[in-house]
Amino acid sequence: MPGGRAQARVGVVTSRLVVVGASLAGLRAVQAARRAGHEGPITLIGSEEHLPYDRPPLSKAYLGATGTPDHFVTEQDLAALEVDLRLGCTAESLDPGRKVVVAAGVDIAYDSLVVATGASPRSAPGIPDLDGIVTLRTLDDANDIRRRLRAGIEVVVVGAGFIGSEIASSVAGRGIGVTLLDAAPVPLVRAVGETVGAALARLHERNGVRLIQGARIVEVGGGGGQVTGVMLATGEWIPADLVVVGVGAAPATAWLGGSGVGLHPADGGLLCDEYLETSVADVYGAGDVTHWPNATFDVTMRLENWTNAADQGGRAGANAVVSRQARTAYSTVPYFWSDWYGSRIQFVGYAAADDVDFVEGGPDDSRFVAFYTSGERLVGVATLNEPRKIMKFRRLIRDRATVTDAKALLASLARPAAGLRAGA
């Protein structure tokens, strides 16, 4: 056993672990398996040629400036974990009967498998295949967009969710004209609800970016194979040298067709239990691809955010290599953040609430705190430019606190620390 490796723990089953997906969730699965005492071989399969890297900055600082991607690990780090790393290797099928993953035409045997293949960008209906129409999901996508951004061009971003809004913010920050389109009357409703979604939408106008809500594209113009603009149902023509489509992502599970792994009927994501195991024994899911019953809210959910990918990947990796009796159920209070125009947006909890109220600031202010409540229970909190407060509310939500408890905490955060004068 190599130096520095933890001794095998009671309940650990020595076997072959295969992880499909070499992004954050997959990497955390590998690391957690080793921390759990797994001594058997590990194979990490990634369809991209790059080492695992941080995706959120691609639509933020990386897109808006020069720089290099932030890789989570080096080849030396993975060698120290004794990982058989296979990059540029796309999973093609799964045969649970033989316990084999077929990737790049090669059979890779497993005893336990973690599927962490993430999600792929959705396509918008009616968008043709023209040069200058792009999506952003990978490092290669970001490099392509960054290469295309130059002074004097006009950019249209389709989709005003978090990724689309971050892209619009980054483009505008470079002094490039950008128009943001969203088909919904209020963007971000699924993520943060209508009340806060409408408040966040106002950030675009306050920073000189035009947001058209309820937009329906009826025609995409092109000349010589190059996009030239989009026509809306209202008859308005919007010139564009670059159209970035950001209308969401779907779980990347097409390769599991015919395997018998249960998939969600709406989006094709993995259907997992509280231990993150799929309907097929010894096959686990983690990250953007996974639906699972979150006991914190007594609801089944699928999350697309950095925090869940890291935490869920770690739990899936550990559960995949220990005995069934030693597994731990995964539950969480979701947390995500987004940066637009120099503002930090944060959310904890669950947006499907009975009521949403601004308890500090309001929809037109540069700072606010909004509480999401179901009955007397606090189930979520959204903040704008209040980064020091959010995690305290995350603990309250985890403990099933009431809105009265939350208001008391908010009041305590507003008071100066003992022994200090206000403004000191």
Q: Is the residue at 11 inside a domain? A: no
Residues 242 and 130 in one domain: yes
Residues 136 and 183 in one domain: yes
Any idea what DSSP says for residue 261? -
Structural domain boundaries, residue 178 = 123-247
Beta carbons within 8 Å of 223's beta carbon, 6+ residues apart = none
Sign of the CA dihedral 259, 99, 272, 279?
positive
- Quote the number of domains for the chain: 3
Segment (H or E) for 177: strand 177-182
Q: Which of 222, 247, 272 is the last residue in one of the domains?
A: 247
Residue 292 has a pLDDT of: 98
What is the value of pTM for the model shown?
A: 0.92
172 neighbors 60 (Cβ within 8 angstroms): no
Tally Cβ neighbours within 10 Å of residue 243.
Answer: 26
Q: Is the residue at 45 inside a domain? A: yes
Of 9, 15, 243, nearest to 123 by C-alpha is 243
Residues 203 and 148 in one domain: yes
Q: CATH no. for residue 392?
A: 3.30.390.30
The separation between CA 251 and the C-alpha centre of its own chain, rounded to angstroms, equals 11
Rg, C-alpha atoms of the chain: 23
Q: Is the residue at 363 inside a domain? A: yes
Q: CATH no. for residue 46?
A: 3.50.50.60
Q: Is the residue at 153 inside a domain? A: yes
> How far is it, in rounded angstroms, from Cα 240 to Cα 229?
4
Residues 225 and 84 in one domain: no
Q: Which of 190, 218, 247 is the last residue in one of the domains?
A: 247
pLDDT tens-digit series, residues 33-82: 999 999 999 999 999 999 999 999 999 888 877 667 889 999 999 999 99
The separation between CA 415 and the C-alpha centre of its own chain, rounded to angstroms, equals 35
> What residue type is 388 in one-letter code?
R
Residues 240 and 127 in one domain: yes
Segment (H or E) for 179: strand 177-182
Burial class of residue 285 in the structure, from the number of CB atoms within 10 Å of its CB (0-12 exposed, 13-18 middle, 19+ buried): buried
Question: Please, what is the angle between helix 189-206 and helix 162-173, to 10°?
Answer: 20
Q: Is the residue at 215 inside a domain? A: yes
Q: Is the residue at 424 inside a domain? A: no
Burial class of residue 333 in the structure, from the number of CB atoms within 10 Å of its CB (0-12 exposed, 13-18 middle, 19+ buried): buried
392 neighbors 403 (Cβ within 8 angstroms): no
371 neighbors 406 (Cβ within 8 angstroms): yes
Q: Is the residue at 236 inside a domain? A: yes
C-alpha to C-alpha distances, 186 to 194, 303, 351, 376, nearest whole angstrom: 6, 21, 15, 27
Residue 11 has a pLDDT of: 61
Residues 36 and 91 in one domain: yes
Residue 12 has a pLDDT of: 61
108 neighbors 101 (Cβ within 8 angstroms): yes
Query: Could you tell me where the DSSP H helices lie in 112-271?
Result: 139-148, 162-173, 189-206
**Which tokens is 255 given?**
């390769």
Q: Which of 191, 225, 247 is the last residue in one of the domains?
A: 247
118 neighbors 23 (Cβ within 8 angstroms): yes
Residues 241 and 255 in one domain: no
Paired with 109 in beta bridges are: 100
The separation between CA 213 and the C-alpha centre of its own chain, rounded to angstroms, equals 23
Residues 134 and 104 in one domain: no
pLDDT tens-digit series, residues 311-320: 999 999 999 9
Residues 91 and 74 in one domain: yes
Q: Which segments of the chain have a pLDDT < 70?
A: 1-14, 66-67, 415-424
> How far is it, in rounded angstroms, from Cα 139 to Cα 12?
36
> How far is it, in rounded angstroms, from Cα 6 to Cα 38?
9
Residues 24 and 113 in one domain: yes
Residues 128 and 223 in one domain: yes
Residue 216 has a pLDDT of: 95
Residues 221 and 254 in one domain: no
Q: Is the residue at 1 inside a domain? A: no
Of 257, 179, 170, nearest to 217 by C-alpha is 179
Please provide the size of the chain in residues: 424
